[in-house]
């Protein structure tokens, strides 16, 4: 008896993915003290330049997510719930929301949101994600 395996991708939001990569590229050109992109943190508040984000944090932020501190978001319908805050408030992980907004698989999200990624790695991963869906990132 053969088992059929079907791999269905979520619907990719290519314009949003492109916008996030373009933002990273623009930020990478700025002096480090003026960058609003820090790949190793979801969000960092109180910097001289304002607030900085990683790719996932940027996506969640521009899509209007409500932040609960710098690490979590207020849940929206359909979000997987993350850990509760000390006061028992339910929250959503930034990576889960950004994954859903971009239409990524867990594997794709883990690659794109990896904390050690530089601008070139983000561009290559985003291109691969688009190509796997039969699309071109165009960057």
Q: How far apart are CA 56 and CA 101, in angstroms?
A: 10
* Residue 2 predicted with pLDDT over 70: no
Averaged over 73-98, what is the pLDDT? 82
The reply to whether the predicted model has a pTM over 0.85 is: yes
Task: Note whether residue 139 is domain-resident.
Answer: no
Task: Note whether residue 95 is domain-resident.
Answer: yes
Q: How far apart are CA 69 and CA 11, in angstroms?
A: 29
Task: Note whether residue 29 is domain-resident.
Answer: no
Task: Note whether residue 137 is domain-resident.
Answer: no
Q: Three-state secondary structure along 62-129? A: HCCCCEECCCEECCCCCCCCCCECCCCCECEEHHHHHHHHHCCCHHHHHHHCCCCCCHHHHHHHHHHH
From 69-78, 83-92, 104-113, 120-129, the region with the lowest mean pLDDT: 83-92
Q: How far apart are CA 79 and CA 93, in angstroms?
A: 9
Task: Note whether residue 15 is domain-resident.
Answer: no
pLDDT tens by residue, 21-62: 999 999 999 988 888 899 999 998 876 667 889 999 999 999
| Residues spanned by the domain of 49 | 38-132
Task: Note whether residue 138 is domain-resident.
Answer: no
* Residue 4 predicted with pLDDT over 70: no
pLDDT tens by residue, 104-137: 999 999 999 999 999 999 999 999 999 999 999 9
Assign 7 a pLDDT band (cuts: 50, 70, 90).
Answer: low
Total of domains in the chain: 1
Task: Note whether residue 4 is domain-resident.
Answer: no
Buried b (16+ CB within 10 A) or exposed e, 89-126: eebbbbbbbbbbbbbbbeebbebbbeeebebeebbebb
Task: Note whether residue 21 is domain-resident.
Answer: no
**Predicted local confidence at residue 101, as pLDDT:** 95
Q: How far apart are the first and last CA of the chain?
A: 45
């Amino acid at each position: 008896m053969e088992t059929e395996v079907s791999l269905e991708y979520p619907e990719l939001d290519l314009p949003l993915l492109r916008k996030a990569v373009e933002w990273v590229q623009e930020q990478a050109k700025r002096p480090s003290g003026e960058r609003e992109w820090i790949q190793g943190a979801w969000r960092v508040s109180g910097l001289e330049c304002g607030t900085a984000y990683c790719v996932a944090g940027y996506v969640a932020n521009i899509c209007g997510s409500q932040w609960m501190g710098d690490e979590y978001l207020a849940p929206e319908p359909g979000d997987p719930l993350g850990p509760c805050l000390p006061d028992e408030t339910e929250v959503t992980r930034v990576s889960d929301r950004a994954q859903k907004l971009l239409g990524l698989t867990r594997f794709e999200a883990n690659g794109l949101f990896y904390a050690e990624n530089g601008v070139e790695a983000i561009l290559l991963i985003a291109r691969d994600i688009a190509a796997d869906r039969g699309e071109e990132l165009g960057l």
